[in-house]
Amino acid sequence: MVDRIASWRHAWMAVGVAEPDAALLAALLARYAEAQRAYHTLQHLDECLALFEAVSACAERPGEVALALWFHDAIYDVQSRDNEARSAAWAREALLAAGVDGAAVARVVQLIMATRHDVLPLTVDAKLLVDIDLAILGAEASRFAQYEQQIRLEYAWVAPAVFAAKRAAVLAGFLARPRIYATDALFTRLESPARANLQAAILQLGA
């Protein structure tokens, strides 16, 4: 289990500023604990932070990647299309208020926006962040099955047939990529199980 407090403090130290008032951390944790969430929760945040601890040596600017992970799902409304932009805006405001350098803030914002997964990441840190966010696809079969159930709960308002078709299309999109994971470290570790999980899920969805 990741030590959230240690992770939080280390991230701010790594970008060269003092840890902000405890109210910011409390507000973030409260967001990840919102009732409408089933997957984009503290469990997901903890999994991301734990994996980052294991691969942080791959980052060019680890503090920025860590802060991007903390904020990447800070705002989550399943029926909204601007969650990443709103999360990035909150991060920008918080980091600037804490005294983080403007160039670093801009990079963190871009990292958060990379988690839209609508374009392939280009920078070293964006590749690492996106791979960490997508690590769930290569999780053990039981955790992946739980993840799929959690996503269905978040979209409980969508009719079953519609959900199955749209979800299968999303998963097939990842499966169609030449490689799901851009970093060598996570490609080696997660690519094969991710492809097996995706294929199984698509079959289960009936697509």
Alpha helices in the chain (DSSP H): 4-14, 22-32, 42-55, 62-71, 83-98, 102-114, 124-133, 141-154, 160-176, 184-205
CA distance linking residue 197 with residue 171, whole number of Å: 10
CA distance linking residue 123 with residue 156, whole number of Å: 35
Q: Is 76 helix (H, G, I), strand (E, B) or coil?
A: coil
Does 1 score more than 80 pLDDT? no
Task: Give the chain's mean pLDDT.
Answer: 96
Q: How do residues 142-166 score in pLDDT, each as one tens digit?
A: 999 999 999 999 999 999 999 999 9
Q: Which percentage of the chain shows pLDDT scores above 90?
A: 94
Report the pLDDT value the prediction gives residue 141, as an integer from 0 to 100.
97
At position 189, the amino acid (one-letter code) is: R
Residues 108 and 64 sit within 8 Å (Cβ to Cβ): yes
